[in-house]
Structure 1
Amino acid sequence: MGEARNRNIRIGIVDNDPYALKMFGALIERMSSDFAVIWTCDLGAVAISRCLSPTKRPDVLVTDMSMGDVPGTEVCRAIRTKTPEVGLVGVTSYALASFHDEAARCGAQALVGKTDLNGIALAIRNAAQGLSTNELVLGDEGSGNSLSFMDAATAYAVLEDTSYAHRGALSGKERDTLRMYADGSTTKEIAERLGISVATVATFERRALAKLGARSRAHAISICVKRHEI
């Protein structure tokens, strides 16, 4: 997605209000000569399908949070569990606090008010590079929000792993984390090798310990060695 700096940023938009969708698409294209709206749709399910299609995938999806068929948060989750290659920007006419934490959990890189055109442009540019935008929720409205938006790669790693974890076994990244600790790697080295943050490494370790019923990292490694899992 870093190539977006050298070419148009290809944007998909989903909003269940067709009139707002048409107007919003025109506004986004006028924000910058770098922005190219390649498609719009009014169904979350259609947006998910297009974002997962090799031929229709945009660099950034701008999604309304309140939609009839699939909520914007679930659109983000469905895409982010499958790929880190599409930047996800949520927009809403409601108070940002209404959707902020759930949007962050579901893998969005930003949440912006629909009237904040400068904020939308900034969020799109950042998301096209896989980056998050956390500075748009300010003042009293943002004070109650406990979660930060993750970059696309970290969100993908977390959500992909969570999806696997629901099946009850150690996920691949949990095993990799314990294996690298067993080999003597530091948390920072593991983060660099997996392309994730130090905090995400810690999350994988905590999940592994909880699943194994282990008292410590060393105990978890011992259990995995005995089970031939690492």
Structure 2
Amino acid sequence: MIRIVLVADANLLRTALGMALSHQDDLQVVAEIASVDVSPALVEAQDADIFVVDLDVLGASITDALDTITKQQEDCAVLALTAVCASAALRHALGNRVRAVLSKECGVADLIGALRRVAAGERFIEPAIAAAIVRGNSNPLTLRERDVLRLAAEGLSVREIAGALFLTTGTVRTYLSTVIRKIGARSRLDAIRTATQANWL
């Protein structure tokens, strides 16, 4: 039996993953926790084989959780899930003995297969993520997109950004939407966080 701990801040994601994995005879979810709740005592108590960790978390709690898991349970594997190929959390995970990285766009069958591969001792990174890493963290944003996002990061409203850059509010919104799509972010704040961590601003 492969014992699994799910670490994700979104309760819906934890619940959905738990339900999806519960139908497999060889997989057992022993705990579902948020990254801020990861502690040495909790990690030690679970006696898990694999920690499935959602990397797309605002704040430093996810890197702290990864440090705690990998230091506390050296024999335990970590399978990381991410939707952002250029995040600081992913870079941290790759430097922290994380055994596998999988895109959150994968299907349930892909995740189940990945868990079994990890349990068997395999190490892998999903090809699309690996390709992004090989390309490096070159800045995907144009100069104007950087200007717009930098002002947004400073707390300016769409109208204020438009005035500062001599653009229409519609154009500013288009730039922001394009940036969010390019980075693979979930929101403007998420795009700002990712771009800041990647030193793109």
Shorter-chain TM-score tier: 0.5 to 0.7
How does the TM-score come out when normalised to structure 2? 0.56
* Alignment CA distance shift 1:21-1:121 (3 Å): same
- For the residues of structure 1 that align with 2:7 and 2:100, how far apart are their CA atoms? 15
Q: Could you say which residue in structure 2 is the equivalent of 1:114?
A: 104
- Preserved contact between residue 100 and residue 145 of structure 1 (Cα < 8 Å): no
Q: Could you say which residue in structure 2 is the equivalent of 1:167?
A: none
* Alignment CA distance shift 1:145-1:51 (3 Å): farther
Deviation at 1:73, TM superposition (A): 3.3
- Preserved contact between residue 123 and residue 132 of structure 1 (Cα < 8 Å): no
1 or 2 for the larger relative contact order (CA 8 Å, sep ≥6)?
A: 2
What are the within-5 Å matches in structure 2 for residues 50-89 of structure 1? 50-53=42-45, 56-67=46-57, 70-89=60-79
Residue 31 (structure 2) aligned to one of 39, 45, 58: 39
Q: Could you say which residue in structure 2 is the equivalent of 1:144?
A: 135
- Preserved contact between residue 78 and residue 100 of structure 2 (Cα < 8 Å): yes
Q: Could you say which residue in structure 1 is the equivalent of 2:10?
A: 17
Q: Could you say which residue in structure 1 is the equivalent of 2:123?
A: 132
- For the residues of structure 1 that align with 2:13 and 2:34, how far apart are their CA atoms? 10
- For the residues of structure 2 that align with 1:42 and 1:103, how far apart are their CA atoms? 17
Structure 2, unpaired ranges of 5+: 138-201
Structure 1, unpaired ranges of 5+: 1-7, 147-230
SS at match of 1:20: helix
* Alignment CA distance shift 1:120-1:49 (3 Å): farther
* Alignment CA distance shift 1:126-1:46 (3 Å): same
Q: Could you say which residue in structure 1 is the equivalent of 2:114?
A: 123
Q: Deviations along 1:83-120, whole A, 9 cap, x unmatched?
A: 3221111112x223324332110221112122313442
Deviation at 1:38, TM superposition (A): 1.3
What is the aligned-residue RMSD (CA, Å)? 2.7
AA partner of residue 26 (structure 2)? D
SS at match of 1:97: coil
- For the residues of structure 2 that align with 1:46 and 1:19, how far apart are their CA atoms? 18
Deviation at 1:42, TM superposition (A): 2.1
Query: Matched residue pairs, number?
Result: 135
Deviation at 1:70, TM superposition (A): 4.9
* Alignment CA distance shift 1:136-1:27 (3 Å): farther
Runs of 4+ in 1 over 6 A off after TM superposition: none
* Alignment CA distance shift 1:135-1:52 (3 Å): same
How does the TM-score come out when normalised to structure 1? 0.50
- Preserved contact between residue 10 and residue 36 of structure 1 (Cα < 8 Å): yes
* Alignment CA distance shift 1:17-1:135 (3 Å): closer
Q: Deviations along 1:132-163, whole A, 9 cap, x unmatched?
A: 223444575343259xxxxxxxxxxxxxxxxx
